[in-house]
Amino acid sequence: MTFFTTTTERKTAENLFREMCTTIEKVEKKWNAKVIAFTTDASGESQKAQQLLKEKYPFMVTPDCYAHQINLIVGDYFKTKQIEFFDAASKANDLIAWLQSKTVVLGLI
């Protein structure tokens, strides 16, 4: 499969949308596969391109970038007071150890 070199093009939502559509068409034609999802990074241009893609292909799932979502979660974690987190994690470990020792409780769960 040939991919495009876009280093000289403006990075607009419309250009990205065009490349996404071209890629979908090539995958479906060459590999005889139905594309049901397409993800990008979480930039404003990418989100707009995803919106355009969703309008053209209403059945398609267009999630935000998973790596970006994880980055947000990790950032939120480091903003918390780590002592509180470790205290809660220790309590959770104690609870899990207690549950594992109670076969009747596990059976009920």
Look up the pTM and report it.
Answer: 0.56
In this prediction, residue 67 has a pLDDT band, given cuts at 50, 70 and 90, of confident
Band the pLDDT of 89: cuts 50, 70, 90.
confident
Q: Residue 64: what pLDDT?
A: 79
Q: Measured between alpha carbons, how far is 95 from 35 in angstroms, rounded to an integer?
A: 44
Count of CB atoms situated within 10 Å of the CB of 50:
22
pLDDT value, residue 77: 72
